[in-house]
């Protein structure tokens, strides 16, 4: 059974283009795999930033955690468990000020845990979440995917690779300010061509 994890981060709710695209991607994948399980995580509701308390919590043995540490670690562990359980990650990436939304950055920070998603070896870092696929639905008003001012897509792709997820594809509705309808249509066509 295929397990799909859908991550949305846009603040625009029903008006969000990245949400529209992640919805279509999930529908395409689920249509090809009728037994697929879909887990949804909406980051726009807020994701706590990591801090010293987080470090103390997640790197303390579970049996030695205080009540506060257990609560902090439990939230972070749930995010991590969702990613570990998924075969495919479908991530909505609206470009905000040339970068990733703060909540998406915080989600990634929660996942960046030595011994869980990566480890250091003599040969350098090794990602521990191998064998997964990620499809990123990028939307932007003016930023072109892969351009010199796109600080979002490269970062997300790098971090996924750092975690061992190297099969990463982009569906882009970028530079919509110039031709929103045509750009969205091209992105939707791209979704229809994705291997399911």
pLDDT of 124 above 90? yes
Q: What angle do CA 42, 43, 44 make, to 5 degrees?
A: 95
**How many distinct structural domains can be found in the chain?**
1
For 167-180, what is each residue's pLDDT tens digit? Answer: 999 999 999 999 99
pLDDT band at 46 (very low <50, low <70, confident <90, very high): very high
The per-residue pLDDT for 101 is: 97
- pTM value surpassing 0.85: yes
CB-count exposure of residue 153 (10 Å: 0-12, 13-18, 19+): buried
User: Binding-site residues for FMN, please?
Assistant: 10, 16-18
User: Binding-site residues, please?
Assistant: 10, 16-18
Contacts 24+ apart (CB under 8 A), 63-67: none
CA–CA dist 109, 120 (Å, integer) = 17
Residue-range definition of the domain harbouring residue 147: 3-193
For 135-161, what is each residue's pLDDT tens digit? Answer: 999 999 999 999 999 999 999 999 999
CATH code, 10 = 3.40.50.360
The per-residue pLDDT for 136 is: 98
CA–CA dist 30, 18 (Å, integer) = 18
């Amino acid at each position: 059974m295929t397990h799909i994890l859908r991550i949305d981060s846009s603040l625009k709710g029903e008006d969000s283009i990245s949400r529209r695209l992640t919805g279509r991607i999930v529908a395409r994948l689920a249509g090809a795999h009728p037994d697929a399980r879909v887990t949804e995580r909406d980051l726009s509701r807020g994701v706590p930033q990591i801090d010293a308390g987080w470090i103390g919590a997640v790197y303390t043995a579970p049996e030695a955690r205080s009540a506060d540490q257990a609560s902090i670690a439990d939230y972070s562990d749930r995010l991590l468990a969702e990613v570990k359980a998924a075969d495919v990650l479908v991530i909505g990436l609206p470009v905000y000020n040339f970068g990733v939304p703060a909540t998406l950055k915080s989600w990634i920070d929660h996942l960046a845990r030595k011994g869980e998603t990566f480890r250091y070896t003599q040969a350098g870092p090794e990602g521990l979440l191998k064998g997964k696929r990620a499809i990123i639905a990028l939307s932007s008003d003016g930023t072109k995917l892969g351009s010199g001012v796109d600080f979002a897509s490269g970062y997300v792709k790098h971090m996924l690779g750092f975690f061992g997820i190297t099969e990463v594809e982009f569906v882009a509705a970028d530079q919509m300010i110039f031709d929103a309808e045509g750009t969205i249509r091209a992105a939707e066509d791209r979704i229809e061509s994705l291997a399911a």
